[in-house]
């Protein structure tokens, strides 16, 4: 009884809260990191060193006037940010934070649902989040956000192909679709998969940047664009939800990259006995540290690189990444059979 119902509910509650707090503080992290790169300090006033800034932002957005455009489709207008946010959150259900942890005498694994199609589930949820952008553009009842929304979603579905193929390459290498299984396969192989499949990692990372609408692929969101982005008509908490969804997607991509390529919760050199003292640090802390490194890289890239034009972006996705992805998949398959 406890195991079937209570424990998963508890896990979900803890995870949801942790993710939502993490996502809100990603806002602060981004502002601070970009500021330090740009020789500035970032938010400093609210709380010591600006630590309470996200709370101030959240309060402000919640207290704003709720504006809906005149003849917009009200139902869809409210639905769009929800459809953007929910898939990002539910993708966390299959991400393994640790394997076997003993808590209050109970042995449990820090993953909400270790489905044996875990990886496919993640891909499926990211493909649903495309709807949020299309519906946001549509519901604004104006030509420019609609076109911008369609363009942004075209970008998303183009890069989804390359990303999915790379995930399949990992499945070929690991032999299982389950996220926990993939980490265990890395333990058995004595090697992080990033060393076995470096091309897959690079393509996954670039594809992840494009999937989350991050620089250098953030043209649909850039203010310099003439046609206002898909979220032009949104204000207040709905607007905030779009951006929180973007950060949540970033965390999902980072977590997936960590799990698939960098050993998930495994400590560095898990098979080397003399380094066993590193086990003092729990697995989920290793996981969080690795995810954090990726998030930092996401922000770092945004601060540094210029932005691609839309046609160059699409050309990169279709003419460069997809052929590379196919080649990688074929080579992985061949090598897996031969070796």
Partner 1 sequence: MLEAIVFYTLAVFTLGFGVLVITARNTVHSVLFLVANFLCVAVLYVALAAEFLAVIQVLVYAGGIVVLYLFVVMLVNLKAIPEARVDPRRRSRLGFVLAAALLAEVSAILVYAGSRSPMAPAPGAPATPAPGNTETVGWLLYTDYLVPFEVASVLLLVAMIGAILLARKQEA
Partner 2 sequence: MFDTNELVINMGPQHPSTHGVLRVVLRLDGERVIEAKVVIGYLHRGIEKLCEHRDWGQIVLITDRMDYVAAASNNLGYCETVEKLMSLEVPPRAQYIRTILAELQRIASHCLWLGTHAMDIGAMTVFLYAFRERELILDLFEEYCGARLTYNAMRIGGLPLDIPPRWDAKVRAFCDILDTKVDEYEELLTHNRIWLERTRGVGVIGAAEAIAIGLSGPALRGSAVPRDIRKDEPYAAYADFAFDVPIGDAGDTYDRYLVRIEEFRQSTRIIRQALDGLPEGPILGKVPRLIKPPAGETYHAIESPKGELGYFIVSDGKSNVPYRFRVRPPSFCNLQALPRLVKGHLVADVVALIGSIDIVLGEVDR
Closest to partner 2 by CB, 96 or 317 = 317
121 binds partner 1 (CB under 8 A): yes
41 binds partner 2 (CB under 8 A): no
Instruction: Tell me which of 67, 157, 278, 289 binds partner 1, using CB under 8 A.
Output: 157
CA atoms within 13 A on the CB side of 318: 10
Angle at CA of residue 60, ends 56 and 63, nearest 5°? 140
Q: Which backbone phi and psi does 99 adopt, to 5 degrees?
A: -95, -75
- Residue 303 interacting entry, from partner 1, partner 2, none, C-beta within 5 to 8 Å by type: partner 2
Closest to partner 1 by CB, 26 or 90 = 90
* Residues near partner 2 (CB under 8 A), total: 25
From the list 255, 210, 301, the residue with the least C-alpha distance to 89 is: 255
Instruction: Tell me which of 215, 248, 251, 255 binds partner 2, using CB under 8 A.
Output: 215
Peptide bond into 216 cis (omega under 30): yes
The piece of 12-20, 102-110, 139-147, 276-284 that touches partner 1 (CB under 8 A) is 139-147
Task: Kindly provide the b/e burial profile for residues 225-253, where b requires at least 16 CB atoms within 10 angstroms of the residue's own CB.
Answer: bebbbbbbbbeebbbbbbbbbbbbbbbbb
Could you report how far apart the first and last alpha carbons of the chain are, in Å?
45
Closest to partner 2 by CB, 108 or 303 = 303
The piece of 28-36, 41-49, 51-59, 130-138 that touches partner 1 (CB under 8 A) is 130-138
Q: Are 265 and 287 in contact (CB under 8 A)?
A: yes
CA atoms within 13 A on the CB side of 181: 16
Write out the residues near partner 2 by the rule CB under 8 A.
Answer: 34, 37-40, 215-216, 218-219, 222-227, 303-312
Residues near partner 1 (CB under 8 A): 71, 73, 75-76, 79, 115-117, 120-121, 123-125, 127-128, 130-131, 134-135, 137-138, 141, 143, 146, 150, 153, 157, 177
């Amino acid at each position: 009884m406890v195991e079937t119902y209570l424990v998963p509910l508890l896990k979900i509650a803890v995870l949801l809260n942790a993710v939502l707090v993490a996502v809100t503080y990603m806002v602060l992290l981004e502002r601070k990191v970009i500021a330090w790169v740009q020789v500035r300090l970032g938010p400093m006033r609210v709380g010591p060193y600006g630590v309470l800034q996200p709370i101030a932002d959240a309060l402000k957005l919640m207290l704003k006037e709720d504006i809906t455009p005149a003849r917009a489709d009200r139902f869809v207008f409210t639905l769009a940010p929800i459809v953007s946010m929910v898939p990002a959150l539910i993708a966390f259900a299959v991400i393994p934070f640790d394997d076997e942890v003993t808590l209050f005498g109970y042995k449990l694994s820090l993953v909400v649902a270790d489905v044996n199609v875990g990886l496919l589930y993640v891909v499926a949820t990211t493909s649903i989040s495309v709807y949020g952008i299309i519906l946001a553009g549509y519901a604004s009842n104006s030509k420019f956000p609609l076109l911008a929304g369609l363009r942004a979603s075209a970008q998303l579905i183009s890069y989804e192909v390359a990303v999915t193929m790379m995930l399949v390459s990992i499945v070929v290498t690991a032999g299982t679709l389950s996220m926990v299984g993939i980490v265990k396969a890395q333990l058995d192989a004595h090697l992080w998969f990033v060393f076995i499949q470096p091309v897959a990692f690079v393509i996954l990372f670039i594809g992840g940047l494009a999937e989350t609408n991050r620089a250098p692929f953030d043209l649909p969101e850039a203010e310099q664009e003439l046609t206002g982005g898909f979220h032009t008509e949104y204000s207040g908490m709905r607007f905030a939800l779009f951006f929180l969804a973007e950060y949540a997607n970033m965390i999902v991509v980072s977590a997936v990259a960590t799990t698939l390529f960098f050993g998930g919760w495994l400590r560095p050199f898990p098979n080397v006995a003399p380094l066993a003292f590193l086990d003092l640090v729990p697995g989920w802390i290793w996981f969080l540290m690795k995810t954090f490194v990726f998030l930092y890289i996401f922000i770092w890239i945004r601060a540094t690189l210029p932005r691609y034009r839309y046609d160059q972006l699409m050309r990169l996705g279709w003419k460069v990444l997809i052929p590379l992805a196919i080649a990688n998949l074929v080579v992985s398959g061949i090598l897996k059979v031969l070796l």
